[in-house]
Amino acid sequence: MSNTQMDDTLFKRTGKKTGTMLQYGDPDFVKRVEINEKDKFAHKAISNAQDAQWVKRETARAELGNWEGWRDLGEQIRQQCVRYLPDYLEEFSDNVEKRGGHVFFAQTDVEARDFITDLVKKKQAHKIVKPKSMVTSEIGLDKALLKIPDVKVTETDLAEFILELDHWDEPSHLVFPALHKNRDEVQKLFQKIGYTGDNDPQHEARFSRKVLRERFLEADMSITGCNFAVADQGMVNIVTNEGNADLSMSIAPTQVVVMGMERIVPTLREAETMDNMLVRSAVGSKLTSYCSFVSPKLPDEADGPEDFYVVIVDNGRSNALGTEFEPILQCIRCASCLNVCPIYRNIGGKGYGSIYPGPIGVVLSPLLQGDYDEFHDLPYACSLCSACTATCPVKIPLHELILKHREVEMNDKHMGDLIADTVMKVVGMGTGHSSLFRTALTFDHVAMNTIAKKGVKDSSGKRVPDTAKNLDENGKHEEWMPFVFGGWTKVRDLPEPPAHSKNFRTWFNDRKTKQYKAAGNDVEFNKEQAKILAQNPNTPDFGSYDNSVSARKAAKNGTTEPAPLSDATVPVALGSIEEAGTGNYGKKD
Amino acid sequence: MKVVIFSTCLVDLIFPNVGKAMVEVLERFGCETYMPMQQICCGQITFNSGYVKESKKVMHNEIDALMSVDADYIVGPAGSCVNMLKELQFHLPKGDDAYKAKAHEMANKTYEFSQFLYRVLGVLDAGAELDAVATYHRSCHMTRLLGERESPYILMDHVKDLKVQELPHIENCCGFGGMFSMKMPEVSREMVNEKVADVESTGAQILISCDPGCLMNIGGRFNRLGKKITIMHLAEVLNSNVDMSRVKYVDAAQRKAIDQQTLQHSNAHEEALV
């Protein structure tokens, strides 16, 4: 991978830790999982949301047609942005300034917070409105703002507003931050600010609307996130369903946009493509109710911010640049990987202890933090089912990057504990040396038979025959295993290995001996087999088939350079919104 | 037609019946089977745990073993392990070019059992009969990484008297995930509990899959909970009460039409396949 990005002075790696990630909740992963398991409501809410989103998302994507073509295009656009990040950032920053805005590059979360809090003081802002933004949570902005005397901060996204009232609770999902809160909790939280109604979500929403309207009208500063920064326009693209970002931006005279440094697209054309993919992936609709492109107010415009600041945040993102983790910067924060993740389904956002949960959080959190200290468990919170990789609209190989983290932890940083390390090395030897494995096959039954149990306990504690049939040959299984293997028997029974005389290899050898003897010899037996095969009407033109990800990867011959954007790469379905055949896709004037 | 049996460590260690059924089915359709005894494991146990260096020897051994017979095909009874064989070419360390080339060659002739039966041999009806209500668990690696979703359904469709119920949440992992099941038992338990409940909701007596790992996980949980189920690998199903007069073959053109139909049906219910 190219290292050219690193030469840019803007994000030159200093060798020092540049990022900090907010770690919250119990520091112990297993304790967090336990706590979450007890929250039956959140558990159910997440499962329901995942199931409902599955249908909505797939329907919205199917409407586009040729979804795979869109994914290829999305991947190429985002790869292009990341590869030429310094150039696009420079272009974007120049264009913001041309429009009368200001740009600040923050290498760390501290720099970003300090710049914004200084600005608040300088502008003597007292009433700040904030639409939903993950990056401001990431850099811990809310807490820093609240320390300034006489400053009132209002989260204007309904879900974030609810969290704010709950002592600034952290979001548990990138798109549905208050997924873990139910209507009764919301009712109680709203009572803090004068709500007297029932737990009907419609009544609650109406109440919040009234409160928030007042906050918008009195706001003197808005701090927003950014879905995409359009480089050649110097404009910021923000999508919401509640219109709260638009109200914040058009009323408050000062706007501060906080953006992760990778959140960039070259032109409006790519912004359109990415918005289409983002919204369909995130909430399963064609487009959000509001999709705005903002820049400082022009003399002939009726509203918009008079003062416009963009804070571009690195905070550890450059740790990924030029490494095998670089594809993670392609992410557009649609959170569809959370919505398909079976681990997220069961441990919830809070289980991860990072404000970026789910597969994206597993990969991103240690990278932003710059070490594995607080997040070393996260790469193991994954069954490698690869649903995330399959759903990602910009084709980030999420499960492969999770595996890569495991490799770094075990092979490079030697973070495995001594016992686990030894066990895995023994397994590595046993599965790498055929003589050792054959010895194991000879003795496994004898060794494990001593602790095997026959049958399962019924409700009275009496052992009855196994209820799962065909699980093992002789109705015996293990209920306890040593070392890491105990994790298996903690949850389910382990079938007892068959006796050596009954295992597959013994059977196979016996079968071959008998077959060859019956036919005369192996050549004769094979002739008989050939006769059977001849009855197959497909002989000799048998089919071949390979639809595997590996085959496609191999066909690409391992090239890492993204194909240049061209009209040829635009999917068919995009023809309706693209001017076909102009031959200038991705080119700048 | 020479076929090397990729036995997988799970069949060697735990499920001899799956291997037996697969060999019997393949030989019934005229394959000559070979079982190189040097083979052990595809390497997922160590590789997926982050012990990549320790996996090199495992990968070398498996490649050498499976390529030791000059066979037309390599066939295995586990979608996940078969996919790993196809991935080995990318997992070998930089500079290990000779083995990478050999692994690439190996990948091109490696098939999962149901895929081989339907897509290579063109078997539509394997002649089996099983009077039961069943449901099918689709394994993640076989579906998403190996890219094989339809073959098992098409083959099950033609088993006489077998009624296959749709499994709710078929897209979700059962909680196996190799070492994941042991390293994160608390999370894995929640996942397999939901799978058990979903299987029960179909009223199926038999749970069928093409991955022994998933069957060991779900079946093991059923047993721990004292709930009734029969687990069967698809090879065991296709090896039940076979009557050769029922056997039907299809050619490439017919397969294309069937695939299209099946694909449309399943795409309507879940995420579109690549």
Q: Is A471 in contact with B220 (Cβ distance < 8 A)?
A: yes
Residue with tokens 């903690």: A490
Instruction: Supply the pLDDT for residue A14.
Output: 42
Instruction: Supply the pLDDT for residue A371.
Output: 85
User: What's phi and psi for A335, nearest 5 deg?
Assistant: 70, 15
Using a CB–CB cutoff of 8 Å, tell me whether B121 touches chain A. yes
Q: Is B177 in contact with A384 (Cβ distance < 8 A)?
A: yes
Q: Is A469 in contact with B230 (Cβ distance < 8 A)?
A: yes
Instruction: Report, as an integer, the average pLDDT of A529-548.
Output: 95
Select the more confidently predicted residue: B248 or A432: B248
Ranking A41-45, B60-64, B240-244 by mean pLDDT, the lowest is A41-45
Q: Are A347 and A359 in contact (CB under 8 A)?
A: no
Instruction: Supply the pLDDT for residue A52.
Output: 92
Round to the nearest angstrom and report the end-to-end CA distance of chain B: 31
For residues B120 and A399, what is the distance between their CA atoms, to the nearest angstrom?
30
pLDDT above 60 for B89: yes
Model pLDDT for residues A304-359, shown as the tens digit of each residue: 899 999 999 999 999 899 899 999 999 999 999 999 999 999 999 999 999 999 99
Q: Is A504 in contact with B182 (Cβ distance < 8 A)?
A: no
Instruction: Supply the pLDDT for residue A2.
Output: 30
Point out the residue among B122, B226, B272 whose CB comes nearest to the CB of A458. Answer: B226
Model pLDDT for residues B154-207, shown as the tens digit of each residue: 999 999 999 999 999 999 999 999 999 999 999 999 999 999 999 999 999 999
Q: Are A170 and A159 in contact (CB under 8 A)?
A: no
**Which ipTM score applies to this complex?**
0.96
Instruction: Supply the pLDDT for residue A580.
Output: 40
Q: Is B180 in contact with A380 (Cβ distance < 8 A)?
A: yes
Q: Which residues of B touch A558 (CB under 8 A)?
A: 90
Q: Which residues of A touch B40 (CB under 8 A)?
A: 430-432, 434, 437
What residues have CB less than 8 Å from A342, skipping those under 6 apart? A383, A385, A387, B172, B173, B175, B191
Show the tokens assigned to A530. Answer: 């050939």
Nearest CA in chain A to B104: A554
Averaged confidence pLDDT in chain A: 89
Instruction: Supply the pLDDT for residue A420.
Output: 82
Query: B6 CA to chain A: closest CA distance, Å?
Result: 12
Tell me how many degrees the CA angle A188-A193-A194 measures, rounded to the nearest 5: 85
* CA dist list (Å): A77 to A284, A330, B165, B172: 21, 9, 42, 30
| % chain B with pLDDT above 70 | 96
Point out the residue among B27, B145, B181 whose CB comes nearest to the CB of A548. Answer: B145
Strands B32-34 and B2-5: parallel
Using a CB–CB cutoff of 8 Å, tell me whether B211 touches chain A. no
Provide the residue type at A524 as one letter. Answer: E
Instruction: Supply the pLDDT for residue A303.
Output: 84
For residues A401 and A419, what is the distance between their CA atoms, to the nearest angstrom?
25
CB atoms within 10 A of CB A261: 25
Residue A520, helix vs strand vs coil: coil
- The three state secondary structure string of A222-267 is EEECCCEEECCCCEEEEEECCCHHHHHHHHCCEEEEEEECCCEECC
Instruction: Report, as an integer, the average pLDDT of B234-252.
Output: 97
Instruction: Supply the pLDDT for residue B65.
Output: 98
Instruction: Report, as an integer, the average pLDDT of A407-421.
Output: 87
Instruction: Report, as an integer, the average pLDDT of A56-60.
Output: 91
Tell me how many degrees the CA angle A451-A456-A460 measures, rounded to the nearest 5: 120
Q: Are B168 and B199 in contact (CB under 8 A)?
A: no
Model confidence at B269, pLDDT cuts 50, 70, 90, reads: low
**Within the 23-62 window of chain B, which residues sit less than 8 Å (CB to CB) from chain A?**
23, 27-32, 35, 37-41, 43, 45-55, 57-58, 60-61
What string of DSSP letters covers A359-425? HHHHHHHHHHHSSSTTTTTGGGS-----HHHHH-TT---HHHHHHHHHHIIIIIS--S-HHHHHHHH
Q: How many CB pairs under 8 A join A and B?
A: 337
Cα dihedral A263, A264, A265, A268 in deg (nearest 10): 90
Residue with tokens 């000779």: B98
Instruction: Supply the pLDDT for residue A458.
Output: 86
Model pLDDT for residues A269-317, shown as the tens digit of each residue: 999 999 999 999 999 999 999 999 999 988 888 888 999 999 999 999 9
Select the more confidently predicted residue: A493 or A9: A493
For residues A308 and A186, what is the distance between their CA atoms, to the nearest angstrom?
34
Instruction: Report, as an integer, the average pLDDT of A100-124.
Output: 95
Phi-psi category of A122—alpha, beta or left, where left has phi over 0 and alpha has psi -120 to 50? alpha
Rg (CA), chain B: 18
Report if pTM > 0.90: yes
For residues B23 and B113, what is the distance between their CA atoms, to the nearest angstrom?
10
Show the tokens assigned to A288. Answer: 């959000």
- Which DSSP category does B196 fall into? H
| % chain B with pLDDT above 90 | 94
- Which DSSP category does A18 fall into? -
Query: A169 CA to chain B: closest CA distance, Å?
Result: 24
Instruction: Supply the pLDDT for residue A25.
Output: 83
Using a CB–CB cutoff of 8 Å, tell me whether B268 touches chain A. no
Instruction: Supply the pLDDT for residue B9.
Output: 95
Count the residues in chain A. Answer: 589
Show the tokens assigned to A490. Answer: 């903690």
Instruction: Supply the pLDDT for residue B262.
Output: 83
pLDDT above 50 for A588: no
Q: Are A127 and A215 in contact (CB under 8 A)?
A: yes
For residues B2 and B73, what is the distance between their CA atoms, to the nearest angstrom?
7
Model confidence at B74, pLDDT cuts 50, 70, 90, reads: very high
- Which DSSP category does A322 fall into? T
Q: Best interface-test mutation with B: which of A37, A383, A421 has the largest number of B CBs within 10 A?
A: A383
pLDDT above 50 for A365: yes
Residue B40, helix vs strand vs coil: coil
Model pLDDT for residues A452-491, shown as the tens digit of each residue: 999 998 888 899 999 999 999 888 999 999 988 999 999 9
Q: Is B172 in contact with A466 (Cβ distance < 8 A)?
A: no
Q: Hey, what long-range contacts does A479-483 have (CB within 8 A, 24 or more apart)?
A: A479/A453, A480/A451, A483/A419, A483/A420, A483/A423
Provide the residue type at A176 as one letter. Answer: F
pLDDT above 90 for A128: yes
